[in-house]
Structure 1
Amino acid sequence: MELTLASAFSQEGLLGHAAYVLLVLSMLMRTLLWLRLLVIASAILGISYAAFILGDPVSTFWESCLVIVNVGQLLLTHWRSLRARFSETEANFIARHLPGLGRGDARALIDCGRWVALEAGACLAVQGQPVEQLSYIAEGQADVRVAGTRLSNCGAGDFVGEMTALTGLPATATVIATGPLTVWQIDAPRLREITRRRDEISRELEAAFARNYRDKIVEMNRLVSVGEVPDRLPA
């Protein structure tokens, strides 16, 4: 096929355009699954165009490689999802905060941290100091104190240090366990690394943090309304 302006807008040429349209659309996808599926579809159209219209074996070869690599990555992701196993506590964590995350990605995130048991009095964050790790409370309760005054509490299902662990800024409150705690913790540098490298994990965590922050504001307002905590700090 001779490449001219007329041929570029012929029926055969539209096949080549469609391949590039799908490739561009793939870059707009927010999930890796749809990105790979659109890249595969684009490459298949590209193979048809290169092999049967252009007669270009080089382009056909590289488009075929693109299909093979992306199909292989999809199969690998599916295999990891099938292999992923979770305890009841981990499954509850994922269902509550990471419902849109694939099983393989969820397993990878949890494996970056550790489950620990803490005693009453354990400190999860200190006001004015950098937070060394993000904590997720699976069981137990903790007080939230600002300048020594209790303003709220955290319980099962709450994150501690979610904002400051990502930014490296000092904690805005001190969080102290009021009894035994079961928590999942991930070191702040590791958290920043994985959210920088894995967009799907970053999006799910950001959404989870936003929802939990809203819930904690509601709980703090409830405690103020029933008189359990002051509505302002002492002068």
Structure 2
Amino acid sequence: MEDIAAALSPAGLLGQLPFLLLIAAILSARVDRTRRLVATAAAVGLIHALAVQGSPVAALWWGLLLGAALLVIGRGVVADTRSRFSEEEEGMLRGALSSLPRSRARHLLDQGFWLNGSEGDVLVREDEPVSHLYYLAQGQAQVMSHGRRIATCGAGELIGEVAILSGDQATATVVLDSPARFWCAPAAVLQPYLLTHEDVRHALEQGFAVSIKNKLRQSNERIAGAGGAVTEPAGVNQV
């Protein structure tokens, strides 16, 4: 009982807090958040070692961990500061890549390239592998399934997102409805890249989820407007 009482005392809870923060750091999918949690855990551990335990050895190790965490955070801040983006890329940072640090977003964008498209250009073909992931910065595209228009993609949306991750064939065709400007990354480059950069993959998945919701909403609105039942359209989430 004395051990339990000691663990639940203010000093005991302070001593346990660093380990809870380290567990949270391990579970975090964002690299920048992981680093901040580790630094916070080390700072709390250092305070406990000095003020409560009076242990120079524990203080040394917590201090070394804090210094290492701050060094890594500092390097990230410098890398973010040095990263440069065009106006179009800044749009991606505010949208699909909003959860990525700037340096990591710069690294991802370097895996693809920017292109101009013309009305009628086909980006994705139904029942064929998706060869590229697209981000539409300007312009508009139609999403067609079995010859019917089921949704529209506008500026700020991703195209080919889920199929790129799953490797499945597209179940809808995407055709530019106007002159467009877009970023694209080949699936052959992006798929292995995402396997080795989990934080980037997680950030893209968040952007994918928003894009898919928009497509489903547009498709349901179109079906409802035509007097049909509102259902999840087959294939929209694979475009």
Tell me whether 1:178 sits opposite 2:192 in the alignment. Answer: no
- Match for residue 142 of structure 2? 143
**Inter-CA distance 41–155: structure 2 relative to 1 (3 Å threshold):** closer
Secondary structure of the residue that 1:135 maps to in structure 2?
strand
Which amino acid is the alignment partner of residue 180 of structure 2?
L
Counterpart contact for 2:92–2:98, Cα < 8 Å: no
- Match for residue 92 of structure 1? 91
Give the deviation of 1:32 after TM superposition.
2.7
Give the deviation of 1:81 after TM superposition.
1.3
Which amino acid is the alignment partner of residue 218 of structure 1?
R
Distance 1:74 1:103 in 2: 13
Larger radius of gyration: 1
Which amino acid is the alignment partner of residue 146 of structure 1?
S
Which amino acid is the alignment partner of residue 19 of structure 2?
Y
Give the deviation of 1:88 after TM superposition.
1.6
Q: Structure 2 matches for 1:43-54, cutoff 5 A?
A: 43-44=42-43, 46=45, 53-54=54-55
Distance 2:222 2:19 in 1: 57
Distance 1:19 1:96 in 2: 34
**Structure 2 residues without counterparts, runs of 5 or longer:** 235-239
- Match for residue 216 of structure 1? 215
Length-normalised TM-score, structure 2: 0.75
Give the deviation of 1:186 after TM superposition.
1.3
Counterpart contact for 2:32–2:101, Cα < 8 Å: no
- Match for residue 206 of structure 2? 207
Counterpart contact for 2:195–2:201, Cα < 8 Å: yes
Counterpart contact for 2:29–2:202, Cα < 8 Å: no
**Inter-CA distance 147–74: structure 2 relative to 1 (3 Å threshold):** same
- Match for residue 133 of structure 1? 132
Give the deviation of 1:183 after TM superposition.
1.0
Secondary structure of the residue that 1:97 maps to in structure 2?
coil
**Structure 1 residues without counterparts, runs of 5 or longer:** none
Distance 2:17 2:95 in 1: 40
Secondary structure of the residue that 1:185 maps to in structure 2?
strand
Give the deviation of 1:31 after TM superposition.
3.2
**Inter-CA distance 143–70: structure 2 relative to 1 (3 Å threshold):** same
- Match for residue 193 of structure 1? 192
Distance 1:222 1:50 in 2: 60
Give the deviation of 1:23 after TM superposition.
2.5
RMSD, matched Cα: 3.4
**Inter-CA distance 70–175: structure 2 relative to 1 (3 Å threshold):** same
Give the deviation of 1:18 after TM superposition.
4.5
Secondary structure of the residue that 1:116 maps to in structure 2?
strand
- Can you list the C-alpha shifts for 1:8-52, whole angstroms capped at 9, x where unaligned? x599x9475444343333323343333223323433455577787
- Match for residue 112 of structure 1? 111
Length-normalised TM-score, structure 1: 0.76
Q: Structure 2 matches for 1:6-85, cutoff 5 A?
A: 14=12, 17-44=16-43, 46=45, 53-54=54-55, 56=57, 63-85=62-84
Which deviates more, 112-121 or 32-41? 32-41
Distance 2:211 2:84 in 1: 25
- Can you list the C-alpha shifts for 1:102-150, whole angstroms capped at 9, x where unaligned? 2222222222211111233322111111111111111222232223333
